[in-house]
Structures are given as C-alpha cells and as structure tokens.
C-alpha cells in the first residue's frame, strides 16, 4: 500500500464514522473530550469529523438544489411545450380560392383556433400577409393579397381580437412557396401567413 | 431587313456630291410605292467605329418598321470604302429609295442622305456627340441621329432614342430600345411597377417592404419617398404635366386610386371602389381621363374615369365566367386606343380597344403575353411574353405584327416605355 492510498482509506473510514454520527441513535453519555492541547490525535479526529459533516451537508444541499432545478425545468419545459404548440396554431396558414378573398370553411376553422389564443395572450400582436399565385398581373395580385389579409383580419376581429393588435400587408405573387405551374402549386401559394414577435414571452392556453 | 449581295464599290462614283439640304427634320420627298416601305441602304464610311455606327443605324431603322433596310454583305462593304460617291444606277437596281452615310467626325457624326430617284443629296447634317469611349451617351447621340433620319425619310420620328424600364429580381432595370445597355437602377429589394416622368429624367416605382411610392432622379440616382404607410402602395404613374403621381393604395378596404403632388403632401383619393381593387392607372395624353383596372364587377376589367375621379365608365365589354380577366391598361400616345391584357382560352394575350368605337383587336397569339406599354410613336408596344421560354420583353409592331425580343437572361416583367429622350435626359 502506498502512502497516498493509506491516507484515502483513512479519510473514508473517518467519513463513514461521520455519517454514522448523523444517524439517529440514543445519545451516548458525554465523554469528556480529550484536550487537543494534551492529545494531538483527538484534535485531528475532531477536525476530520467536522469535515465529513460539512461534506455531507453540502451533498444533501446539492441534491435538494438539483431536485428543485429538475422540478423547475419540468415546469419550464411544459410551459415551453405549450407555448410552442400554441405558436404553431397561430402560425398555421389559411388558403383561398383563385382570385377570391372569401374565407372558406377550412380557413374559418383555422382562424377559429387562433382567436382564443390571441385573446388569452394580450401581449401578442399579429401580422397577416396575403399572397397570391402567379397568374394575373403583379399589381392586381398585390391588391388581391391585401384584400385576403384584410379579410382575415376582419374575421379575427369579429371573434374578439382587438383590431389594433393586427396589421396587414401583401406580397402579391412575389413569394411563392411552390414553384410549379399546376393547380396544387397555385393552391399552396394562394394563402395568408401569420407572424408574431416572440418578445421573450410564453403563450398560455386560453381558459376554457 | 433585306439582305442583298452586291458590289458595293459600284455604289460610289468619284464625282462630287450634289446640292445639299441642311434643314433638320424635313421630309426629303422620297418616291416609293404607296403602302410599301422605302428601301434604304446604309452606306459604309471611313473612320473609327464605323462598323458599329453602321450596324446601330441599320438596326435602328429596321426596328422602326417604317423603312426596309437593305443589308449588303460584309465582303462587299470593305470594297465600298474605296469609293466616294453613290452610284445611282446600282442603288436604284437594289431597290433603294434612299442611301444613308454616317461618318464619325472629331466632334460627333456627319450624316448624309441621298435621294436615289432624284439622284441628289437630300440632307446633310453634323451632330455633336461624346467620345465613343463614353458608350451610353455616345450610343444615345447616335440613336437620336437615327430618329432624325427616320423622320427625314418617312415624316415620322423614330423611337431609337428611348429606353424601357422593367422589373427583374425585385429591382428596377432599364434597357435601350435596341436591347443594349441593360442595367439596374435600384438596389436589390422589393421594387416594382416602374413608370417614366414625361421629361424622361425621373422615374416612379413602388416598394413592398416598406410599402411606399418612390421617385428617383436618373441624373443623380437619388430616390425619395413620396407616399408610404400601412397596406399597399402600387402602380404609380405620372400625370402628363409631370406635376403629380397617381397610384393605387389600400389597407383593409380594397385598393383605390390616389393622387399626390410630386412636390409632396397628402394623397387625395380619386376612385371610390367600395372595397374592390382599383389599380394600374394610365392617363390619356391630354391628361383629362384615366383608364384603370377595377375588380368591381367581380373580376378585373378596364374602366375609365375623369382625372378627378368622376364619370366612371366600363371600357371593356363585360365578360362573364371564371376566365374573364382584363388588366394592365396603357393609353396610346395618340389617345385613340387602350392596350391591355385579356385572358383568352386561359392564356393572356395583348389586345387594344378603340376609344371611339370600342372595337377590340387581338394583337398576340404566341405564348402568354402581358403588361403592354406603348412606345412614344403609338405604333409599337413592349410587353412581357414567355413565347421564348423564360418571360422576356418583346416589342411588337402593331401595324405589321412583327415582333422582336428586347431582353435576355433572367425573367422580367412590368415594362414601361420612356418618352422620347433628349440629350439632357
């Protein structure tokens, strides 16, 4: 056994002794402590016990802190998950028929899901951008995109979302998401998109 | 252009030139069959850049569609430079009513026009031009000479010294009328719908982000915002007096046509669309009327109104059905018709409608053709077409149906043909 190993073993023995001391047992009769001045070994033993006690307290504290952090993280994750889920609903696009700004049933359903979230999260402002497919003139498509965005805004307003928390704009046919020249591509491009600044806040569920 | 092989050397004799007419812009009284185009030969000359000068002149005259340019082969051209005066008999045999010679000088160009039938020099004129190294202004000066020349030959001024604005990659670009000198005027962004000031020295255009109408001085390159705010600001056009800009603007209740002073100030609403889209205003030459695209019947049609927004009237015959779509009006410079795009069989084509008889003419049928803009001669139109694949600008002679491609490269849209440009524009 090397000298270093011997020292570690000693420390472990002392530590175990210290832990034993923490267990709830009937208190033994006090034994007069040997005076450190007269007994150097007794002083070393006392110091070791104190160090072991300190280490134990620290470990217990850190376990408690870790438990608290885990609990907080769990709660934070839940908040984040909820917020992300609601953000996904807010970001969901709505689609239109060719050359129309009329809200179809599927678009109304999407907007119906957004409205209560917007009402429950009064800090959220929503930007609605209207888009068109490539057919027709650039200028008329810009106007059509604006009409689509305005139609969405009006509908959300009718569902209780304050007008001053929504803005509209149009990109016309300038930002297609699908490049094809078939109806499936055109349908993907005839849409309204939604943006809302995060502002560091978390979205909360509307109270049912 | 007509191509003829000939001994160009025979076109010149060593005799001195005949009497000279130095009056600018006169019609020189060519004789040729009614209904036909006078044949014109651009003679070779000596000096630096003469090949370029001759090629540009031939192309300008050809693009004007009012003369028949007789092109001689290259080998014969070099022989011709040894001679010094026209051979009238050979010119007549080639079918030329006139011969033209443009010679570079220390200060610009020297133009000589020969009337083949009378065997006389019909016109002599000297032009001041920048050095050839200053390519754009040098070419502009030569285009101006060619416009003078066309006026002398036919009585109608040419359109060579004009340019065309267009959109490419969300920037505003400009190209000379012969398809050369193409360059961007704005930075990469979201610019669109360019329009010329009547002076040719300024343009207006729209921007999407932020939403605004801007005007840009072409001499300094500086742009300033004329109108901006929420919603869309689109399709600006200048009033014919150049003092106001008329444009489409709307936020949540459709798009209407507004007017704003070029000097600035509040926008004044002209149209009352009641929630519909009213865009693409275009003025009659006298400035008294506006044609525009309106969605008020449920789909886009062309309407007219007085310049103050009153007396709204449907111009195009109302068409019913899913496919009805008339848009992009441009009022002809002579005031007689409006060009527009109309969907026919699911594909857009260029059409005109007469202001007096409401007669419709379909001008295109090859591919998809959109966004017509008149040349200042009221005879040619530039428009976007995918007939060659990628959408490019094409120029159409509305009298003969002849079309030529103006731009090449990445896709383009929304052309706007300039007025005739002066040396200061």
A14-55 pLDDT per residue, tens: 333 343 433 444 444 444 444 445 566 777 777 777 777 777
pLDDT at A206 (0 to 100) = 92
Given a contact cutoff of 8 angstroms between Cβ atoms, the answer to whether B329 and B338 are in contact is yes
Provide, for chain B, the percentages of residues in helix, strand and coil under a 3-state DSSP scheme, each rounded to the nearest 5. 10, 40, 45
- The answer on pLDDT for B299 being more than 80 is yes
Each residue's pLDDT expressed in tens, for chain A with a length of 208 residues: 444 433 333 333 333 334 343 344 444 444 444 444 556 677 777 777 777 777 777 777 777 777 777 776 777 788 889 999 999 999 999 999 998 999 999 999 999 999 999 999 999 999 999 999 999 999 999 999 999 999 999 999 999 999 999 999 999 999 999 999 899 999 999 999 999 986 668 999 998 7
Task: Tell me the two tokens of residue B17.
Answer: 């030139």
Q: Is B399 left (phi over 0), alpha (psi -120 to 50) or beta?
A: alpha
Q: Is the pLDDT of residue B24 over 50?
A: no
- Angle of CA points A138, A139, A143, to nearest 5°: 115
Question: Is residue B391 within 8 Å of residue B385, measured between CB atoms?
Answer: yes
pLDDT band at B92, cuts 50/70/90? confident
Contact yes or no for B359/B351 (Cβ under 8 A) = no
Least confident of B71-80, B132-141, B296-305, B368-377: B71-80
**Residue among B170, B209, B234 minimizing CB distance to A143:** B234
Q: Does the pLDDT value for residue B25 go beyond 50? A: no
At which residue do the structure tokens 């007017």 appear?
B259
Nearest CB to B170: which of A99, A143, A174? A174
Label residue B83 by pLDDT band (50, 70, 90). low
Q: Do A147 and B254 touch (CB under 8 A)?
A: yes
CA distances from A36 to A39, A93, B258 (A): 5, 80, 99
How far apart are alpha carbons A183 and A140 in whole angstroms? 19
Residue B220, pLDDT above cutoff 80? yes
Q: Do A168 and B231 touch (CB under 8 A)?
A: yes
State the average pLDDT over residues B89-115.
92
Question: How far are the Cα atoms of A50, B65, B149, B401 from residue B396, in angstroms, in the given order?
Answer: 100, 10, 21, 6
pLDDT at B134 over 70: yes
The residue of B171, B208, B343, B344 whose CB has the most chain A CBs within 10 angstroms, and thus the best one to mutate to test that interface, is: B208
pTM equals: 0.82
Residue B232's closest CA among A159, A197, A130, A108? A130
The C-alpha of A173 sits at a distance from chain B's nearest C-alpha, in angstroms, of: 12
Q: Is the pLDDT of residue B17 over 50?
A: no
Q: How confident is the model at residue B91 (pLDDT cuts 50, 70, 90)?
A: confident
> Is pLDDT at B255 greater than 90 in this prediction?
yes
Phi/psi of residue B224, each to 5°? -135, 150
CB B129 within 8 A of CB B109: yes
Could you tell me if B370 and B348 are in contact, meaning their C-beta atoms sit under 8 angstroms apart?
A: yes
Query: What is the pLDDT, as a whole number, of residue B70?
Result: 93
Closest CA relative to residue B90, chosen from B6, B33, B214? B6
What residue of A is the nearest CA neighbor of B413?
A138
Two structure tokens written together for B97: 């009513």
Task: Name the CA radius of gyration of chain A, rounded.
Answer: 34
According to DSSP, residue B377 is labeled T
Partners of A72 in the β-ladder? none
- Tens-digit pLDDT profile for residues B313-340: 999 988 777 668 999 999 999 999 999 9
Tokens 């020969």 locate to B114
| Token pair 């003369």 in the structure block, residue | B67
What backbone phi and psi angles, to 5 degrees, belong to B233? Answer: -130, 110
- State how far residue B213 is from chain A, nearest Cα, in angstroms: 13
Contacts of A139 in chain B (CB under 8 A): 192-193, 234-235, 248, 279-280, 293, 328
């Amino acid at each position: 056994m090397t000298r270093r190993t011997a020292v570690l073993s000693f420390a472990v023995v002392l530590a175990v002794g210290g832990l034993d001391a923490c267990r709830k047992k009937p208190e033994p009769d006090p034994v007069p402590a040997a005076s450190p001045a007269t007994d150097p070994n007794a002083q070393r033993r006392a110091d070791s016990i104190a160090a072991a006690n300190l280490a134990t307290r620290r470990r217990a504290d850190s376990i408690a802190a870790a438990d608290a952090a885990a609990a907080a993280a769990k709660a934070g994750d839940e908040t984040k998950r909820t917020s992300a889920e609601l953000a996904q609903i807010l970001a969901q696009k709505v689609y239109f028929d060719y050359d129309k700004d009329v809200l179809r049933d599927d678009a109304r359903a999407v907007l119906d899901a957004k409205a209560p979230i917007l009402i429950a999260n009064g800090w959220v402002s929503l930007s609605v951008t209207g888009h068109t497919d490539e057919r027709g003139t650039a200028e008329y498509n810009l106007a059509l995109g604006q009409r689509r965005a305005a139609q969405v805004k009006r509908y959300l307003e009718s569902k209780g979302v304050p007008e001053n928390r929504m803005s509209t704009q149009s990109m016309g046919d300038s930002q297609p998401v699908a490049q094809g020249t078939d109806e499936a591509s055109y349908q993907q491009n005839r849409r309204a998109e939604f943006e809302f600044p995060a502002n560091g806040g978390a979205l909360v569920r509307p109270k049912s | 252009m007509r191509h003829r092989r000939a001994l160009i050397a025979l076109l010149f004799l060593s005799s001195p030139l005949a009497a000279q007419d130095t009056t600018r812009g006169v019609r020189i009284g060519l004789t040729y069959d009614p209904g036909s185009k006078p044949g014109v030969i651009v003679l070779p000359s000596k000096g630096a850049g003469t090949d370029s000068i001759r090629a540009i002149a031939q192309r300008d005259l050809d693009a004007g569609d009012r003369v028949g340019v007789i092109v001689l082969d290259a080998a014969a051209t070099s022989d011709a430079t040894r001679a010094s005066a026209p051979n009238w008999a050979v010119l007549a045999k080639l079918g030329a009513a006139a011969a033209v010679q443009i010679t570079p000088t220390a200060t610009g160009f020297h133009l000589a026009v020969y009337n083949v039938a009378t065997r006389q020099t019909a016109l002599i004129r000297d032009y001041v031009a920048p050095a050839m190294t200053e390519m754009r202004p040098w070419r502009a000066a030569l285009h101006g000479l060619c416009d003078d020349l066309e006026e002398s030959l036919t009585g109608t001024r040419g359109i060579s010294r004009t340019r065309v604005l267009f959109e490419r990659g969300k920037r505003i670009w400009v190209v000379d009328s012969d398809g050369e000198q193409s360059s961007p005027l704005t930075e990469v962004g979201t610019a669109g719908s360019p329009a010329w000031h009547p002076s040719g020295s300024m343009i207006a255009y729209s921007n999407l982000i932020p939403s605004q109408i801007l005007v840009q001085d072409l001499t300094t390159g500086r742009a300033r915002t004329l109108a901006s705010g929420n919603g869309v600001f689109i399709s600006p056009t200048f009033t014919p007096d150049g003092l106001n800009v008329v444009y489409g603007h709307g936020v949540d209740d459709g798009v209407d046509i507004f007017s704003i002073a070029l000097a600035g100030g509040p926008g004044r609403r002209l149209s009352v669309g009641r929630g519909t889209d009213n865009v693409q205003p275009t003025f009659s030459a006298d400035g008294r009327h506006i044609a525009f695209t309106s969605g008020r019947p449920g789909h886009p049609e062309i309407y007219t109104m007085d310049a103050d927004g009153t007396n709204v009237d449907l111009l195009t015959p109302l068409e019913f059905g899913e496919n009805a779509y008339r848009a992009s009006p441009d009022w002809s410079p002579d005031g007689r018709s409006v060009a527009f795009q109309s969907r026919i069989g699911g594909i857009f084509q260029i059409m005109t409608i007469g202001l007096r008889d409401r007669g419709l003419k379909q001008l295109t049928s090859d591919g998809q053709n959109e966004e017509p803009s008149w040349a200042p001669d009221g005879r040619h139109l530039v428009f976007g077409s995918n007939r060659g694949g990628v959408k490019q600008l094409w120029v159409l002679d509305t009298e003969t149906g002849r079309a030529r491609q103006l731009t090449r490269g990445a896709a383009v849209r929304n052309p706007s043909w300039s007025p005739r440009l002066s040396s200061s524009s």
